[in-house]
Every structure is written in structure tokens, then in C-alpha cells.
Structure 1
């Protein structure tokens, strides 16, 4: 996690400490959130066999999570901005872990819908809350790297999630429980434990960190305050202003479109890999499913560092998050199993590497309450793509040519998002530049060394 910094000695030291003190815990928390969000894809076959859920009912249940998630996302992030990440992120984790464990009781269509909806309420605000927390600690010029390191949790969840979920599914019959019941129970309780531990690790702001010196606290906060002041003139400052801001809504719509492709791939990746291999979903499929996300771990690290050095957020996002990702999703419908897995691996890597750059691009245009509301709004509307994705893919596959047609629809969504961002109005492309080493910071550095 080491990197060069464009900031002075005190701020660089504070950033480095924050990387090692905060990011590992946030990564573990993010791993649990993704694991409990997408494990329903691993349970799909067994759950449908045991409960009689149809493909359309499963698609609706898988997607309804994102409806409740979207409804409660903005209020959750506003609360976090007032009470602090330590209390609110940990509260989110414990409650969603309990609901995730209760998914073992989803034995009918109604119970499946209700529990998925409740899971969305419980988890609402977690990811934008973490992104907001990173803006409290990491200045603009290193934020894509911080966001990208956080995305290690996303990739990590899908690397270890496949084998873990597959192994738990193979526990079918032990203790009188079905494999998918064991999977929901254990993975949900893991989130509860992590949430309790996180309460003793997470720190709200630099001035609350006992592991920073007073000089480091002041220097880092001075840089963050300076950046916020530079953005405040162009940023919406209230919840209502943010909700009506055309730039924020543009980002939200753009992210919504690409998330259709992303979640359409993520939810059905285990099933797609099982079809490619001609195997049922279990440990082997879990291991193969982890390959795309394992590659993504390396790509995210290097692409986000390159973005922070060159600061060309928009073009990198168009190329990685959208264009290459969309093309690879389409290509995965063809060729040999090795070719299909390779296409999925490249697609997963570009999707994950583009996402933290997209959010860095957004956060450089917002400040104050606007950044809390804006990140949550973009994420909530974007995640509605997770509701559309399984239903769109199911509809297209059933009515327009099978699984290949479904993948074409998803890939086309990513390419549409690429075109939209490429044609973004010129006046919205450039944010006010944040000072790399502000006068305030320089003064604090000199005082500390005196």
C-alpha cells in the first residue's frame, strides 16, 4: 500500500498511517457486504430446486434488494455525516448480518422477496458511507488509489466467496440443514462479528486518531479543509440542491446504466461458469469463478495509481469501466471455455479498476453535505441497475435468443454508458484543482520541524 505522495512530509506520513490503520478493516467489511449481497447467485440452483422458485421469481427477488437499498441510501449517508462512520458503519454491518442469516428461512416466494427487501434496508448506505469516510481521510490526489484499495474487498469477496460459498453448499444435509441454509447462516453471522470488531478499529476523523501526532492531525485536516473550500463554490451544499443538481443526476444515470451490465454479470457468473464447465455449482465452479476477480486485484492496483498520477479520470473511466468491460461481456458468449473465462476475467478487471476512478471523478466536484448526498444518490440510483439487470437478462434470454442474447444486452448497456460519458458536456469535465501542497500545510510542516 505504499506510494509516493504529492503532499508534504506531515500529510504524507498521516496518509500512510491511515492506509494501514483504516483500509484493512474497511476492506474486510466490504468483503462481507459483497459476500452477503451476491451469495444468492451461488444458492440459485439449490434454492430453486428446494423451494420451487421460478427463474422470474428468483430474478425479482435478487433485484428487489436494490429497490430498498436505493430508497434508504441517501438518508443513511446523511446520518453518517452527522454521527460519524464508527457508529453508523458498524450498525449497518450488524443489522445486515442478522438479516443475511435469516435468508436461511427464505422457503417461499413471499419470504424470499421480504428478506431480500429487508437486506437492502439493512445494508443501505454502506458502500457510499465508506466512500464518504475515505473523503474524510484521503486528499484528492491520492483518492483513486484509496478507492481502488477498497475495491480489493470487492474482488477479494468474489475470489474467496466462490470457494467458501461452494464449500458451504457442499455441507448439504449436515445437522439437518440444506447447503444453502448453512451458507446464508454462516456468512451472515460472519458479518455480525466483523461489525462488532470494526467498532473498536474505525476512527471518524483525523483529529480523533490516537495513532497520529497532533501535527499530523492538523496538517492532514488543513489539506482536506482547503480542498473542500476550493470546491464549495461549485458544489451543491444541501440535500435538496444535490438532488436537483444536473451534474449529479448525469453521474447517477451514467452509473445506473453500467451497473446493469455489472450486476447482470455478477449475479449469473456462477451459473455461466457452471454451463461453460458442464458442472453443477460447487467447490470447483467456485474456484473457477474466482479467477476473474483474482486478476482484477492486480489490475485495480496499477490502473488507479496511473490515474492518480495522470489525473485523467474521464478518459480512463470510459476506456476501462465501460468500453473494454462491455466488449468483454459480449465476447464471453462465444468461443471455447478458456476464451470465455479469459473474456470474463478481462471484463471483471476493467470494471473494478474503473469504478474507484469514477467515484474519484465525482468526489472532486462535490464538498460538504453535497458530497455525502451526491455519493449516496449516485450509488443508490446506480444500484437500481442491480434490480433491472437480472430481470432484463431473463427477459432477453427467454424471448430473444438465449444466453448469448442476454450477454449482448448487458454488454450494450456498458457501451451506451461509455458513449454517454465520452460526450459529457465540456463544462462538467474539469473540476477546480486542489492544491497539492497548500500554504497552510507548508506552514504546519515548518512549525513541526522547528
Structure 2
């Protein structure tokens, strides 16, 4: 009977929550990385160098870093419905404002403000999922949510390329139309969030009474298993060594993700193809990675193993970047970018299942936000370094090797974290037989 209730409940909340938050993240990711397509023509219109583009694309994450922890604490207190709605409306307005930048200074300011506006969205959703799904089911659900990022690239690439063709309509450049049109859905969906999203299982009137009772009891029991004195305070969430280690691991994966999102269109463009061809080719790797991510995360859930699922995926992405740096053919480049996409995408769901295994309450809110805010600084370091190296050497090669090195560091740190944690558990068992 309990198994029947569990299956019914998980099926119902999955269909109610996951497709909706996937759409939200898809829009967020498009608005975050469409600068990669805008730059194809924007850099000529505004006279931007690769360094300016890389720094401007990355400064988004400085705003994200500064405001993410406060944003997630507020979400934990006021509820996801109100706060996610606020986040989306604000970032939609600022994303549209990107159409009116005129200089490197205004470009930097708007990208920074976009990061401030969006701060709290991603970790807020991760926290939100921890309210609704037991830990044993979380990697698979997170994978479905995070599949929105590669799907956004697959869908957004040809759309962004097509919008660039609107150049000259009503006196606006194609990149200006792209920013305006792609920002609009965020504002609309922000309003929808306010009326559609439910903060907690206790308020889920769309669940049957027995389903709601089972879910509430299950999540309360799971939280009760965590040591309240150690894991619930805000300070513990910020200072927990495992949180800081996971943030460093996530730094490398973020550098890889946003290297792809921001620079892949221009790397492909250097092979001498049209903007529309760039859009179509750039859509191939993420389509493959979506399938790989879902299968990989399901295997992680089935085996209840996280460490090697993260480490092997990070190593795969590093190998792909090294191949991309050394290849000169179209086929070789797309194959390499596919390997990178698969590795980056597969690393994230099992990685995001780790913090909510040992944190809950306010500590989970701050811990998740800390991992995401520090880790996402990799989204600044990777793109900025690639832009700087491109200006210095005229090639993307050195920058790609740099990001590959960060992913190797993520691999090593993941294994060290697992090894030290196992030693602590063994020591505790010897002390308290």
C-alpha cells in the first residue's frame, strides 16, 4: 500500500513540478548565454574585443556571487512562489535592456545587474526540489531539471541565429532584436509562477489527502535523520568544509559549461560557416548530452553512488576540451564539443544530490547557494580567460586547455572529498562500535 502511495505521489509531483521548472530554467539559460550569439555581430557594431566580450560575459557571475546566498535565505523564509516570480520578472526586464548597451561600460553594468537579478534562481530551485523529493529520487529529478540547459542550447541556438537576421528592422540591429524577444518570456513566466507554484507539500491542495500525508511525513522523517545541532544553522551551511569542497568542484564544471555556452558559437564560426549554420551545428552536442545526462543520473540513483559519477564525467569533459583545442576539422570539433557537453551535463545532477544529503533547513539554503555562488565564479574565470588568451595569441587553444585543467582539478577534488569522508566514517565506527 505504501509503495502504491509513493509511486502515485512521486508521479503526480513530478508531472506538476518538473516540466514547469524545466521551462523556467530553459528561459533563464537562454538569457544567460545568448551573448555568445549576439557577439557574432555585436562585437563589430560596438567595437568589442574578445577580452571585452569574455569579461562582460563572465561579470554576470560576480553579481550572481554577491547576491546568491542572501537571495536563497529570503526564498527559504518567504517561499519559492513569491521569490522566484520576483527573480524572473526582474531578470527579464534587465535581459531586454541588454539591447541598448552602447559601450563596454554599459555592457559590463548590464551583465552585472543581470547576475544580481537572477541570483538565487538556480539554487532556489535545487532547494525547492529538496522540499518535495526524497534524497533517493533527487538525482534523477535534478537531471530532468538541468536537462533544460542543453535543451536551451539546442533550441536557442537556431532561434538566436534566426533573430540575428532581423538586422535593420525598425532601425535595430539583429542582436538587439534577439535580446528583446528572448527576454519577453521571462517576464510572462514570472507572473505565471506567482499563481502556479506551491511553496511546500503541506499546501499542495492538488495532491490527494493520502498522498499529501505520505509526502509530508516522508520529508519530515528524512530531515529528522539529519543532526539538527550540526546541520541546520546558517553558519554551518556557509562554513561546512564539504560545502566549500563541492563549491570548488562546481567551479570547474561551471567554467566548462559557460565556455560552451558563450564561446562555442564563435569557435564554430571561425571555421568559416554562416551564422545560421553555426546555430544548427551548435545544437547537435546538447541534444546528445540530454540523453546521456538522464541515463547517467538514473544510474547514479539506482546505484546510490555519486562520487565516481561526478569524477568520471568531469574527466570526460576535460578530455573533450583537449581534443577541441587540438582539432582543425568541422567533424572533429563537433565531436569534441559533444564529448564536453556530455561530460559537463552528466556531472551536475549527482553533484547537486550531494549537499542535500547532509544539509537541511537554513543550512541547506545557505549551503546550496554557497556552492552555486562560489562555483559559478568558474563561469567568470573560464570565459574571461578564453577571451584574454584569444586576444593575446589569436587562438582559442590555450584557453580551452586552461578550462580542461580546471575540470581535472574538479575530478581530483571529488575523489579526495570522498576518500576523506570515508575515513571519517570509519574512524567514527571504531570510536563508537
Give TM-score, length-normalised by structure 1: 0.91
SS of equivalent to 2:205 = coil
Pair 1:327 & 2:319 matched:
yes
Tell me by how many angstroms 1:425 deviates: 5.3
8 Å Cα contact 1:86-1:203 kept in structure 2: yes
Mapped partners of 1:353, 1:199: distance in 2: 31
Cα distance 1:234–1:365, how it changes in 2: closer, same or farther (>3 A)?
Answer: farther
Matched ranges for 1:288-367 at <5 A: 288-320=281-313, 322-335=314-327, 336-367=329-360
Q: Which residue of 1 aligns with 2:273?
A: 279
Mapped partners of 1:430, 1:274: distance in 2: 49
Q: Which of 47, 72, 77 matches 2:72?
A: 77
Pair 1:131 & 2:126 matched:
yes
Q: Which residue of 2 aligns with 1:368?
A: 361
Mapped partners of 1:29, 1:232: distance in 2: 33
Mapped partners of 1:382, 1:429: distance in 2: 24
Cα distance 1:279–1:288, how it changes in 2: closer, same or farther (>3 A)?
Answer: same
Pair 1:115 & 2:107 matched:
no
Q: Which residue of 2 aligns with 1:405?
A: 398
Superposed CA deviations along residues 86-126 of structure 1, whole A, max 9, x for unmatched, are 11111111110000000011111111111111101110000
Superposed CA deviations along residues 295-335 of structure 1, whole A, max 9, x for unmatched, are 11111111111110001100111001x10011011111233
SS of equivalent to 2:283 = helix
Structure 1: tracts of 5 or more residues without a match: 1-5, 433-450
Mapped partners of 1:25, 1:71: distance in 2: 27
SS of equivalent to 1:231 = coil
Matched ranges for 1:35-434 at <5 A: 35-233=30-228, 235-276=230-271, 278-280=272-274, 282-320=275-313, 322-335=314-327, 336-399=329-392, 402-424=395-417, 426-428=419-421
Mapped partners of 2:231, 2:390: distance in 1: 42
8 Å Cα contact 1:328-1:344 kept in structure 2: yes
Cα distance 1:324–1:41, how it changes in 2: closer, same or farther (>3 A)?
Answer: same
Mapped partners of 1:360, 1:30: distance in 2: 18
- Aligned-residue CA RMSD in angstroms? 1.8
Tell me by how many angstroms 1:379 deviates: 0.2
Superposed CA deviations along residues 311-362 of structure 1, whole A, max 9, x for unmatched, are 1100111001x10011011111233211220121122022112101100022
Structure 2: tracts of 5 or more residues without a match: 426-433
SS of equivalent to 1:53 = coil
Tell me by how many angstroms 1:386 deviates: 1.1
Tell me by how many angstroms 1:233 deviates: 4.6
Mapped partners of 2:103, 2:195: distance in 1: 39
Mapped partners of 1:226, 1:23: distance in 2: 23
SS of equivalent to 2:332 = helix
Cα distance 1:387–1:34, how it changes in 2: closer, same or farther (>3 A)?
Answer: same
Deviates more, 1:156-165 or 1:48-57: 48-57
Mapped partners of 2:172, 2:418: distance in 1: 55
Superposed CA deviations along residues 404-423 of structure 1, whole A, max 9, x for unmatched, are 22211111110111011112
Mapped partners of 2:353, 2:50: distance in 1: 37
Superposed CA deviations along residues 253-298 of structure 1, whole A, max 9, x for unmatched, are 221133223322321010011123x124x22211110111111111
Tell me by how many angstroms 1:234 deviates: 7.6
Mapped partners of 1:405, 1:294: distance in 2: 27
SS of equivalent to 1:402 = coil
Mapped partners of 1:344, 1:393: distance in 2: 16
Q: Which residue of 2 aligns with 1:446?
A: none
Tell me by how many angstroms 1:400 deviates: 5.9
8 Å Cα contact 1:86-1:199 kept in structure 2: yes
